[in-house]
Structure 1
Amino acid sequence: MFNLHIAQNEKEEDDERRMRDDEARMARDSHSRRVIQAVAHICRPTRSRNLNRSRQQRGEELLDDYFVHNSAFPDMYFRRRFRMERHLFNKIMIAVCNHDSYFVQKKDACGAMGLFSEQKITTALRMLAYGAVADQVDEIARLGKSTILESLMRFYGAIESIYTAEYLRKPTHMNLERLLKKVEM
């Protein structure tokens, strides 16, 4: 009888110890959970407010500066700033727009016109020609960093798929002879 009483007391003590341990563990877990949630809330990237970049206005200014018939800057300035002739830029732009509809100007859900093709292609070319970063190009074309980088990647993909067959092939025998003659001169 005495052994049964001792065993029952030990069982009650074990149950109480387990309950205290469970309560302590739950308190630790809830505290840890609260700390993790607080840190996650602090580290969660918040969306910055939209900047009024006047994209449409800057796009029209870009067209007036370089791409319309009587542009503000003559062909000499276009060649210096874009490192190509205007007709070559237009040829590339038409090919890229026909290949990827991302570069074609469209209306958004609100009915507002999107970015000009010239804006997107100009940003990609400026980054490639000058080694500029997205923030530098943002000042010229008034596009966000993510839009600039997406334009660059899509432009690169379009150029690669359009011109690979023509320009990235092994030279023919005639091409080698022509290049060797050019070097001799």
Structure 2
Amino acid sequence: MTRANMMNNYFNPNSMYTEEDFKCRFWMMHHVFECVLRDVQQVNPYFRQKRDKAGRPSFSPHQKVTVVIRMMAYGSPANSMDETHDMSESTCLDTFEQLCVIIVQVYKDEYLCEPNQ
């Protein structure tokens, strides 16, 4: 899925799909996705839009977070994201690791409970 298609389908104000469609596809509400996206962008520059060595835009923050959320929601292997999101297996795995570390770092105090006996 190209960045433009993904943005038009799910993230632009007049997107093709509804909030309910988003929830079914990503297993979370749209505003939760946007909150996570905003938080990870503030913590880690990896999730900010950059340009590659050829001067072209690299994967957008939305693409990176979308790939990881879909991998987690559906148990999709990293090598399957190449067909749908044009992201290599190594980039998917790196993005997955980066996001998981940030999620724990940002949300552990609020959502991670101490183990009980």
- TM-score, normalised relative to structure 1: 0.59
Contact 2:68 2:92 in 1 (8 A): yes
Contact 2:51 2:57 in 1 (8 A): yes
- TM-score, normalised relative to structure 2: 0.91
Q: Which has the higher contact order (CA 8 A, sep 6+)?
A: 2
Q: Which amino acid letter does the alignment assign opposite residue 7 of structure 2?
A: L
Contact 1:126 1:137 in 2 (8 A): no
Please point out which of 2, 8, 12 is paired with 1:68. Answer: 12
Note the aligned Cα RMSD (angstroms): 1.5
With over 3 angstroms needed to count, the CA separation of the structure-2 counterparts of 1:146 and 1:168, relative to structure 1, is same
Which residue of 2 is the match for residue 18 of structure 1? none
Q: Which amino acid letter does the alignment assign opposite residue 150 of structure 1?
A: D
CA–CA separation in structure 1 for the residues paired with 2:20 and 2:28: 10
Structure 1 residues without counterparts, runs of 5 or longer = 1-56, 172-185
Contact 1:96 1:159 in 2 (8 A): yes
Deviations 1:74-105 (CA, angstroms, capped at 9, x unpaired): 11110100011111100000001111110111
Whose helix proportion is higher, 1 or 2?
1
Count of paired positions: 115
Which residue of 2 is the match for residue 90 of structure 1? 34
1:170 Cα deviation from its structure 2 partner: 3.9
Q: Which amino acid letter does the alignment assign opposite residue 83 of structure 2?
A: E
1:109 Cα deviation from its structure 2 partner: 2.6
Structure 2 residues without counterparts, runs of 5 or longer = none
Q: Which runs of 4+ in 1 moved over 3 A?
A: none
Report the structure number with the largest CA radius of gyration. Answer: 1
Which residue of 2 is the match for residue 103 of structure 1? 47
Please point out which of 84, 88, 95 is paired with 1:151. Answer: 95
Contact 1:104 1:116 in 2 (8 A): yes
Q: Which amino acid letter does the alignment assign opposite residue 80 of structure 1?
A: C
Identity fraction in percent: 32
